[in-house]
Structure 1
Amino acid sequence: MITNKMINTNNLLRILSLFITFVCTTAVIAQEKSKDTITVYKKKVLESTEVDLLMSYYTQDGDNAAVTGGIGTEELTDLTPTIVVSIPLNDDDVLTIDASVSAYTSASSSNVNPFDGEGVADPFVASSGASQEDVLTTLATSYSHSSDDRNDIWSVNAAIASEYDYFSIGFGGGYTKLFNEKNTEISVKGNVFLDTWNAIYPSELRDQPSFIPFEDESRNSYSLGLGFSQILSEKLQGSLALDIIHQEGLLSTPFQRVQFADVTDFNIPGQPFVYGDDIERLPETRFKIAAGGRLHYYINEIFVIRTFYRYYTDNWGINSHTASIEVPVKITDQFTIYPSYRYYQQTAADYFAPFNEHLSTQKFYTSDYDLSDFDAHQYGFGISYTDILTKFHIWKFRFKSVDLRFNQYERSTGLTASIVSGGLSFVVE
């Protein structure tokens, strides 16, 4: 006999079954919609096109010009305007174009031919010839693609650079992986640069029968970089980097002179300029390794400490240490100042000797003080303003930030340099 209780139980089971089916179906549909929503509405890597207008002015002076064999003026000025445009191609892909023009005037390079001016030939006085100035033009572009979950980033890049006696083309790529809820990051990158010199030699050596010019004027550079970054705590972040570089080809600078101690000096009476006995000659291969790390510590809403250290070594005998610290201080929500200090120390290359101390029996030699034993200090200060809401407009450009920095560089060899740099950032509507 079927009772009302049994009927009610069956109905209850049927209703419960239908409810469970409904819930499961709804969950599946919701999950699929959720996946679709993630695909359709995922956050763009770059929301809008951004434009950075950069400018730097560099000036230096010293008394150890490599062009004149390790003595003479190192006076140089350089002005470099740069524009960087980052364009979002879609949600995942960004194209960046970087163009710059470096216009410099160099008292030392003017003495490649110290006799083409109107005054006396003097290593401490710039010749008025055309070689005192030049322009380096550089164009670089990069393309990056990010995965849907933003944990994988692939990139490729290419660059071209040209000036009067030099041409370079470069290309490369990289891969970055984020995991551990984006608290850990590893990266690898590689680049190749293919350079060609249009060798210009010191004027007094060009017509000497004993002078031997370089047969191969090309130089190739291959680099591999490995990176690791880790968020160690809420306030501490660290990173490690390893760079390996191999170079081959013409690694000497063709217009840099060398004078030999065992060869009699020669100069025109009344003109203090000493003729070069030969040009700088260095090995045709060089292997470099640099390893370093960074630690950034967030003290509070006002202070952050950024530290950096790098060790460098190569098979030319140079070993160096670099250490720096920067302490950004947030004055207001918009203004931040950046005091900084950098220390650098290196040993001399095996092939370096000062003016008139090399011997003609040596195979390799240079009097370039960039390859000498020295230490250097750099003091810096910067200030930046950020328009958080990008309220200020100029036509279709929304102002994002402005940055201005000054650095003073002092080397134990007597070289001093100053650089003023600044930048404006805009978001294009």
Structure 2
Amino acid sequence: MKNYLLYSLIALVSLASFAQEETEYKKRVLESTEVNLLSSYYTQDGENAAVTGGRGTEELSDIAPSINVAIPLNDDDILAIDATVSAYTSASSSNINPFDGNQAADPFVASSGASEKDTWFGLTASYSHSSDDRNTIISANVSFANEYDYTSFGFGGSLTKLFNQKNTEIQLKANIYLDQWNPQYPIEFREGFNLNEYNYEGEINFSPNYSNFESLNRNSYSLGLSVSQILSKSIQTSFIADFVVQDGLLSTPHQRVYFGDIEDSMIENFMLGNDVERLPNSRTKLAIGNRSSFYINQNFVVRSYYRYYTDNWGIDSHTFKVELPIKFGLNYTLYPSYRYYTQTQTDYFGEFNTISSTDEFYTSDYDLASYNANQYGLGFKYYDPLNSFKIGGFGLKSIQIEYNYYERTTQNFNANISSLGFTFIAD
């Protein structure tokens, strides 16, 4: 009897200790290392290239592989590293120097010179820490990006708070980007360009207003706020606001502008620019939006997105997007989507050969013009929560394939975007 009582007492003490350990236990923010591999292929075509003053080929192809690695440092901290390489071939940028190819210079024909191809590289590292109760998340990030005419350094952070049994989430984030141009001016504006080496027609003094930019810095400061709320078992919504201030060289140095009050100068089939794009050295942007999810049943979800954007350059825009994920069992999801976008033009936009040489600011970049756009998408995702397929100590969590077709209804411009992604989890 005494032994029985002793064993019972030991069992009770053990249970109490186990219960205490269970109370103090906290789930890791990230159980194991995750690796995301993504590759995208982008092509576009159009006839309003900004490099040639809003008139010319916009053919471009780009392939961009990227890798993202999220590493749990302990129960509370995560380190994430994101690296992307983007290699593109651009008929538009090739005409920065249209005279270095093997055919007659023409805005609608790509030059085969050195500016036809380039590579962009970006690297971002971020660190996040979650509190013991998982109601506070603090994060910080640093980034670097570089291509042939542009270098960018960035840093920032965010603070996330969860309330109301994690049904409410508020996030405040801030980022700063300090960028530097290495301008690749159109060939006719460069020192050493000699008009007399070519058979030309028109005005000899084709660029009376031209001068190189003195300051080559571009700085961006952004502040964002988001509030997410679970309204019911079937509805979740979030409100988003972003405010951005930019200063410095906001013009793109290799984009030509043509004046309507100056005689044209031609070499072969190419018109020499009268100046490059000139835009104000400051800009403020404000965007507010809503993202909501409506769970119809276990197989159907409706996701909606709306954003209103405005800036002090005169652009106002509206974005609408709807996505309909359809689940087939536990492992498969098909998600068609549609996006509509419309914007007004900037105060400084003018079409090819219509701008006045007396204006202070001007651009013929159709990204800053008035237009409407549609995007149609279809994606497929395979998800395996058990990670049954293994590769070298990593289990395959998901495969994602997506295709989008984009068109501007008010301009002759279209694009195709394809992407393939894999997510692996360390055993």
**TM-score, scaled relative to structure 2:** 0.91
Residue of structure 1 aligned with 2:82, choices 98, 110, 114: 98
The structural deviation recorded for 1:394 is 1.1
The structural deviation recorded for 1:384 is 0.5
Q: What is the letter of the counterpart of residue 420 of structure 1?
A: S
The structural deviation recorded for 1:273 is 0.8
1:321 matches 2:318? yes
Q: Which residue of 1 aligns with 2:418?
A: 420
Q: Distance in 1 between matches of 2:323 and 2:188?
A: 48
1:403 matches 2:380? no
Q: Which residue of 1 aligns with 2:281?
A: 284
SS where residue 265 of structure 2 aligns? coil
The structural deviation recorded for 1:281 is 0.3
The structural deviation recorded for 1:164 is 0.9
Q: What is the letter of the counterpart of residue 65 of structure 1?
A: A
Q: Distance in 2 between matches of 1:38 and 1:121?
A: 75
Aligned residues: 399
Q: Which residue of 1 aligns with 2:203?
A: none
Q: Which residue of 2 aligns with 1:15?
A: none
Q: Which residue of 1 aligns with 2:96?
A: 112
| Structure 2 unaligned spans of 5+ | 1-11, 192-206
Q: Which residue of 2 aligns with 1:183?
A: 167
Q: Distance in 2 between matches of 1:334 and 1:33?
A: 36
Q: Distance in 1 between matches of 2:131 and 2:323?
A: 33
Q: What is the letter of the counterpart of residue 330 of structure 1?
A: K
Q: What is the letter of the counterpart of residue 321 of structure 2?
A: S
1:335 matches 2:332? yes
Q: Distance in 1 between matches of 2:385 and 2:115?
A: 47
The structural deviation recorded for 1:118 is 1.4
Q: Distance in 2 between matches of 1:245 and 1:162?
A: 22
Is the contact made by 2:209 and 2:275 (CA closer than 8 Å) also made in structure 1?
A: no
Q: Distance in 2 between matches of 1:210 and 1:71?
A: 21
The structural deviation recorded for 1:35 is 5.9
Q: Distance in 1 between matches of 2:324 and 2:210?
A: 53
**TM-score, scaled relative to structure 1:** 0.91
The structural deviation recorded for 1:210 is 5.6
Q: Which residue of 2 aligns with 1:143?
A: 127
The structural deviation recorded for 1:332 is 2.0
Q: Which residue of 1 aligns with 2:251?
A: 252
Q: What is the letter of the counterpart of residue 112 of structure 1?
A: I
Q: Which residue of 1 aligns with 2:366?
A: 369
Q: Distance in 2 between matches of 1:353 and 1:134?
A: 29
Residue of structure 1 aligned with 2:301, choices 300, 304, 310: 304
Q: Distance in 1 between matches of 2:347 and 2:77?
A: 47
The structural deviation recorded for 1:209 is 8.0
Q: Which runs of 4+ in 1 moved over 3 A?
A: 32-39, 207-210
- Give the 5 Å matches for 1:121-136: 121-136=105-120
The structural deviation recorded for 1:367 is 0.1
Is the contact made by 2:209 and 2:274 (CA closer than 8 Å) also made in structure 1?
A: no
SS where residue 109 of structure 1 aligns? helix
Residue of structure 2 aligned with 1:46, choices 30, 33, 37: 30
Q: What is the letter of the counterpart of residue 228 of structure 1?
A: V
Deviations 1:133-189 (A, max 9, x none): 110010101000000110000000010001111100000000000010100000000
Q: Distance in 2 between matches of 1:237 and 1:209?
A: 58
Q: What is the letter of the counterpart of residue 120 of structure 2?
A: L
Q: What is the letter of the counterpart of residue 408 of structure 2?
A: R
Deviations 1:85-134 (A, max 9, x none): 00000000000000010000000000000001111010000001010111
Q: Which residue of 2 aligns with 1:357?
A: 354
Q: Which residue of 2 aligns with 1:383?
A: 380
Identity %: 58
- Give the 5 Å matches for 1:106-255: 106-207=90-191, 211-255=210-254
| CA shift in 2, pair 1:210/1:367, >3 Å | closer
Residue of structure 1 aligned with 2:58, choices 74, 77, 90: 74
SS where residue 120 of structure 1 aligns? coil
- Give the 5 Å matches for 1:264-279: 264-268=263-267, 271-279=268-276
1:61 matches 2:61? no
Q: What is the letter of the counterpart of residue 233 of structure 1?
A: S
Deviations 1:377-422 (A, max 9, x none): 0000000001121111112011100000000000021110000011
Q: Distance in 2 between matches of 1:112 and 1:319?
A: 30
Q: What is the letter of the counterpart of residue 122 of structure 2?
A: T
- Give the 5 Å matches for 1:13-28: none
Q: Which residue of 1 aligns with 2:204?
A: none
SS where residue 112 of structure 1 aligns? coil
SS where residue 241 of structure 1 aligns? strand
* RMSD (Å) for aligned C-alpha atoms: 1.5
The structural deviation recorded for 1:331 is 1.6
SS where residue 74 of structure 2 aligns? coil
Q: Which residue of 2 aligns with 1:394?
A: 391
Q: Distance in 2 between matches of 1:34 and 1:157?
A: 39
The structural deviation recorded for 1:230 is 0.3
Q: Distance in 1 between matches of 2:329 and 2:61?
A: 35
